[in-house]
Amino acid sequence: MSSSASSVVNGGISFWYTDDGIPAVREPLSGDATADVVIVGGGYTGLWTAYYLKKAAPFLRITVLEQKFCGYGASGRNGGWLYNGIAGRDRYAGLHGREAAVRLQKAMNDTVTEVITVTGAEGIEADVHRGGVLEVATTPAQLARLKAFHEHELSYGEKDRELYGARETAERIRVADAVGSTWTPHGARLHPVKLVKGLAAVVESLGVTVHECTPVTEIRPRHAVTPYGTVRAPYVLRCTEGFTASLKGQKRTWLPMNSSMIATEPLTDDQWAAIGWDGRETLGDMAHAYMYAQRTADGRIALGGRGVPYRFGSRTDNDGRTQPATIEALHEILTRFFPALAGVRVAHAWSGVLGVPRDWCATVTLDRSTGLGWAGGYVGSGVATANLAARTLRDLVQQDSGQAGRTELTDLPWVDHKVRKWEPEPFRWLGVHGMYATYRTADRRERLHPGTESSRLAKVADRLAGRH
């Protein structure tokens, strides 16, 4: 078995850091300070927010406080799918009407272009390739879901999405047993760490103060408290996503869900010729416990999925290490999709956490009475969404401080959404583990007993988790 755990680099934050290097850390906070806006967390959400606020109002004194180094979290570990999916859109359609949800979807489509345009304009070289997103079906039940998904997306105004049969799918990527796929142009592959490092450098060059190795232990109105001092500011923006549970009073706000990835060694030209994938689309599937993958700029496959989904008590990090069983499971998906790659070595494996709200809906909020804001709960679709959230936080702060009025972004239905907290343990752990165990059983059943009906088990799991 070529993925054998001993030959795999496990952790080290992520493969992307092995590829591009762990950055030298910036100075921590050195005593009490004041600012106009303090941002907690130096991932995409925090850094994009600093970027857009500073661009809009260069006089603002903005401070970013990061517990380790910018990009330590999911922004330095993700699959590099910059795409137009947003968690909770259907629920927002139910709460605010179809038209509002269509506006949200349109904003997400535009966000993909926004990220590509701004990174280009700022000289951030992040291996961006706009090849769209290809999602494949490999069983009759997945094909039925794929067709329904395709119709559903069209109904949100995505007229340029296409539906392919087996042959057209193989012309793009030769996934074993693929019977169909859907492709959207609203997606690009990128190198997550190059993006986050580039963003941190750009915001610093604009005059934003960035302190690293500075964990915030408590956020209160107008205060961000750290062991090195307290930063006081009229606006305190929480951009900590999957790590939010570690903040005082936030234990049950967003559940830290794990996602794990592997990266192969670089494939040979012959191996690429056997697979295709010339368009560098990001690749996903229609399994209940879905996978996601990209062809990296240096010719590897980076592939992710759900390993152990959640650690008891909302524990988060071990610098990206993942379980040997998860490496094996991801390797099994790789070779099931591409049997010709059975001998290819897995070079690296890692994991990270993403934030899941109780109703699985991403949100962006500014509480006008306290000046506290937050954005996240992206449920694994945060690479583009963080940018939309950041521009929205900019508009909300500007609106509140009288520098601007309502905008198209502040009127989007995910703004100021309220959600209840997760259950206490052990119910959180039981619920999430039960859900993913059920998804995996449903996927197995659909593979072993092909039929066009989605396994009923998956619906039970959805209800169990409060997803639908």
Ligand X SMILES: Cc1cc2nc3c(=O)[nH]c(=O)nc-3n(C[C@H](O)[C@H](O)[C@H](O)COP(=O)(O)OP(=O)(O)OC[C@H]3O[C@@H](n4cnc5c(N)ncnc54)[C@H](O)[C@@H]3O)c2cc1C
State the residues that interact with ligand X by CB under 6 A. Answer: 40-46, 65-68, 72-75, 77-81, 215-216, 239-243, 246-247, 259, 261, 292, 304, 352-354, 376, 378, 380-384, 386
CA distance 298 to 295: 8
Phi, psi of 266 (to 5 degrees): -60, 140
In this structure, what token pair is assigned to residue 156?
């949100």
Residue nearest to ligand X according to CB distances in the complex = 382
Taking the complex as a whole, the smallest distance from the CB of residue 315 to ligand X amounts, in Å, to 13
Q: Judged by CB, which is closer to ligand X: 3, or 455?
A: 3
Q: Judged by CB, which is closer to ligand X: 49, or 182?
A: 49
Taking the complex as a whole, the smallest distance from the CB of residue 453 to ligand X amounts, in Å, to 29
Q: How many CA atoms lie within 13 Å of 92's alpha carbon, on the beta-carbon side?
A: 24
In 3D space, the residue among 118, 127, 130 whose CA is nearest the CA of residue 199 turns out to be 118
Q: Judged by CB, which is closer to ligand X: 175, or 457?
A: 175
Q: Judged by CB, which is closer to ligand X: 177, or 204?
A: 204
Q: Yes or no: say if 112 and 84 are a contact pair by the CB < 8 Å rule.
A: yes
CA distance 172 to 175: 9
CA distance 106 to 68: 35
238 DSSP assignment: E
Q: Yes or no: say if 262 and 331 are a contact pair by the CB < 8 Å rule.
A: yes
CA distance 270 to 30: 55
Q: Judged by CB, which is closer to ligand X: 66, or 281?
A: 66
Q: Which residues pair with 82 in a beta bridge?
A: 188
- Beta-strand ranges (E) seen in 319-443 are 346-356, 363-367, 372-376
In 3D space, the residue among 105, 151, 86 whose CA is nearest the CA of residue 360 turns out to be 86
Taking the complex as a whole, the smallest distance from the CB of residue 140 to ligand X amounts, in Å, to 27
Taking the complex as a whole, the smallest distance from the CB of residue 230 to ligand X amounts, in Å, to 13
Taking the complex as a whole, the smallest distance from the CB of residue 465 to ligand X amounts, in Å, to 18
Q: Judged by CB, which is closer to ligand X: 223, or 459?
A: 223
Taking the complex as a whole, the smallest distance from the CB of residue 424 to ligand X amounts, in Å, to 21
Taking the complex as a whole, the smallest distance from the CB of residue 420 to ligand X amounts, in Å, to 21
Q: Judged by CB, which is closer to ligand X: 93, or 199?
A: 199
Burial 160-178 (b: 16+ CB within 10 A, else e): ebebbebeebbebbebeeb
Q: Judged by CB, which is closer to ligand X: 141, or 354?
A: 354
Taking the complex as a whole, the smallest distance from the CB of residue 196 to ligand X amounts, in Å, to 7
Q: Find the angle CA(407)-CA(408)-CA(413) to the nearest 5 degrees.
A: 115
